[in-house]
A and B are shown apart, each in its own frame.
Chain A
Amino acid sequence: MNNDPVDSRMIERIQNHPKYQELVTKRSRFAWTLSVFMLLIYYAFVLVVAFIPKTLGTKIFAGSVISVGIPIGVFVIVSAFILTGVYVRRANGEFDDLTQQIKEDTK
């Protein structure tokens, strides 16, 4: 909300803090990389479904009834969970520490 009192000089001090630039660059690079990762996994899956759906029906080994589509589907679900875990781990550690330092330095 615009009407929250935030000191404009403090904003300026934060912007000029070297760690702030480091935080912004690192965090956004990490966030976008992971997003692209997730989008790649998902849209690769969607494109297979759209163009070569039969591939997913291949059996995992001769004599089995289980298709490769099943473990692949479960993999997409699990990868979503793992990627969120990877992000939260780094953001709640490294990025939060950086933020804390910036806040303390610019008080």
Chain B
Amino acid sequence: MRRLIEVLFVAVVGLWGSIAWAADAAKPENKLNITAIIMFFIFVAVTLGITYWAASRTKTTKDFYAAGGGITGFQNGLAIAGDYMSAASFLGISAMVFAKGYDGLIYSIGFLVGWPVILFLMAEQLRNLGRYTFADIVSFRLSQVPIRTLSALGTLCTVILYLIAQMVGAGQLIRTLFGLPYEYAVVIVGALMILYVAFGGMIATTWVQIIKAVLLLTGATFIALGALNHVNFDLEAFFRSALEGVKASGLADHKKVVAENKDIFAPGGLVSDPISAISLGMALMFGTAGLPHILMRFFTVANAREARKSVFYATGFIGYFYILTFIIGFGAVVLVAPNPQYVDMVKGTLMGGNNMAAIHMAHATGGDLFLGFISAVAFATILAVVSGLTLAGASAVSHDIYANAMRGGRVDERVEMRISKLSALVIGVIAIVLGIQFEKQNVAFMVGLAFAIAASANFPILILSIYWKNLTTRGALIGGSMGLISTVTMVVLSKTVWVDVLGYKDPLFPYKDPAIFSMTLAFVGCWLFSKLDSSSQAQAERALFAAQNVRCETGVGASGASKH
């Protein structure tokens, strides 16, 4: 405990020092945003306090991985919503609405509709069958070593890709918002997330996420109200002024819209052909159901009842949030686009980059102080999301690979926790190093790839293991691997990597989203190789399904909340 206090103390002093130092080092064009830094500091101080409190309550692996199972449905709903409302979706979707209009809404709907399906088909099953990771469920009646290894691989691929994208986004965003050099931003984010996860485990990670979700929902509500207040809450006038905003806009994107006479209130060029539209829809919908850091949240509540409630609240918060981003995006067309304070009228670009629409809206509706608040919230958002990802990755290493695949489940809890903390440190360092390496790279494809892998490798084996009696280890292994390999191959050969990153002239695979093909391959692989599997092990695995289903339906034998 004493050592922990020392570490936290050094962390705070170090952070303060590095920011003060960075202030001197910052180039003059990146003006340091003092209000934002102070508000962010308050957030960091509070969350480190929570980490300290959480550390004293984290005694067992159950506390570490699953917050002792003591999170309520409402709290977990906020935490799930928080995981989902990343800086990328807050800034990215409002920016998409801002630049392209209706297309932004299509995206956010795709992100949302996965939730009801997760609730109906997976939430209580996850809670009743699993303990700490989704691999618990897949390996419930299948062979531990190969299945855990495959699931951990799927988890780590998803987590690392998602982390790099978040880290690069964090560095760029914080450089713009706070005036800090890129490397400092990445190191600060990395160091804080390692602290939260290694010392506070799931309890700290959950509460950081809850606090951030409340701050972000509050902040976004105020921006949206500011936008509507501008037109006295008359929706007709609001959208009419958005049309005028596009005409008066200095933005090159908007000039193009006017020149081509496009309708910003109808679908534009986001989804060009039916295959892409359906494939994107599948990746968004089923990818959500295979994201390890989201699935992990279902183990933090006491029982199936609370698990269901979590999704109900989460869907409400996320849906509300997307409606807000829609209003904020169009609000920015009205208040930001025609204003030379925010737009470089000569170059036709938004100051600070395309993703800054919501940030400028904060300034346009609430002035410097509110801008500082929203900037700090954006920083906090990144921190909270990367912490969840890091914990998911660390759990895969310590719980799936070490404790179960390597040691057959016979491990000392303290050793397992130490491995997990060490993994969090290693994953954090990898994220920092890669985050700095990828600074100048185009990382936009990484989130898409993470979703596609989640949809094509993690989701098929998970859902089949819950619902399909005949799934065998061999089938899951071959099908899951086919999903993983085909996704990566198709994304590398598609325009996003082959042309945009590697610089070749023409893509070898015509679609941006591989999900419709890779998911099909994974399901067909699982089905075919399970059907062909007539080994005695396969028979035994099928025989275990009935017992699994009893537990799945009734929760008999499921782990409850630990008593503190």
A43 to B281, CA, bound (A): 8
CA distance A5 to B546 in the complex (A): 16
Tell me the nearest residue of chain B to A102, going by C-beta.
B554
Q: Are A87 and B323 in contact (CB under 8 A)?
A: no
Question: Could you say which residues of chain B place their CB within 8 Å of the CB of A78?
Answer: 319
Contact B550 A14 (CB under 8 A): yes
The residue from A6, A41, A57, A81 contacting B557, defined by CB atoms under 8 A apart: A6
- Most B Cβ at <10 Å: residue of A6, A43, A49: A49
Q: What is the CA–CA distance of A42 and B322 in the complex, to the nearest angstrom?
A: 16
| A50 lies within 8 A of B273 (CB) | yes
If A43-B281, A103-B556 touch, does A69 touch B323 (CB 8 Å cutoff)? Answer: no
Q: Is B24 an interface residue (CB 8 A)?
A: no
B119: Cβ under 8 A from any A Cβ: yes
Q: Write the A70-107 contact mask toward B (1 if CB under 8 angstroms, else 0).
A: 10011011101101110110011000100100110000
Task: Please report which residues of chain A, range 23-43, place their CB below 8 angstroms from some CB of chain B when the two chains form the complex.
Answer: 23-24, 27, 31-32, 34-35, 38-39, 41-43
Q: Nearest-CB distance from A83 to chain B (Å)?
A: 5
Which chain B residue lies CB-closest to A53? B267
Residue interface mask B115-149, A partner, CB < 8 A = 1: 11101110010000001000010001100000000
Give CA–CA (A77, B273) in the complex, Å: 23
Chain B residues with CB under 8 Å of A35's CB are 116-117, 120-121
Q: Are A6 and B553 in contact (CB under 8 A)?
A: no
Interface residues of B in 244-301 (CB under 8 A from A): 263, 265-268, 271, 273-274, 277-278, 281, 285
What residues on A are CB-neighbors of B124 within 8 Å? 91
A2 to B131, CA, bound (A): 11
Assembled-state Cα–Cα distance A22/B45 (Å): 53
Contact A42-B553, Cβ < 8 Å, known A50-B273, A70-B265, A87-B120 = no
Number of interface residues of A (CB under 8 A): 58
CB proximity of A56 to chain B, nearest CB, Å: 5
Q: Give Cα A21 to B277, complex, Å.
A: 40
Query: Is the contact region of chain B dominated by helix, strand, or loop, or is it mixed?
Result: helix
Most chain A CB within a 10 A radius of its CB, from B113, B136, B546? B113
Q: Tell me how many residues of B have a C-beta within 8 Å of chain A.
A: 60
The reply to whether the CB of A62 lies closer than 8 angstroms to some CB of chain B is no
Let me know if B239 and A99 touch, CB within 8 A: no
Report the bound CA distance from A74 to B324 in whole Å. Answer: 11
Given contacts A42-B109, A96-B305, contact A1 B131 (CB under 8 A): yes
Nearest CB in chain A to that of B311: its residue: A84
The answer to whether B308 and A24 have CB atoms under 8 Å apart is: no
Among A20, A23, A65, A69, the one with the most B-chain Cβ atoms within 10 Å of its Cβ is: A65
**Best-buried of B108, B312, B549, B559 by chain A (most CB within 10 Å):** B312
* B555 is an interface residue with CB less than 8 A from chain A: yes
B 518-564 contacts with A by CB, 8 A: 546-547, 549-551, 553-557, 559
Complex Cα–Cα for A85 and B305 (A): 13
Chain B residues contacting A76 (CB-CB under 8 Å) are 109, 112-113
Lowest 5 CB-CB distances: which A-B pairs, in order? A57-B266, A6-B557, A67-B265, A50-B277, A53-B267
Q: Can you offer 15 A-B residue contacts whose CB atoms are under 8 A? A: A32-B120, A35-B120, A38-B116, A42-B113, A47-B274, A50-B271, A57-B263, A77-B108, A77-B112, A77-B322, A78-B319, A81-B312, A84-B312, A88-B312, A96-B304
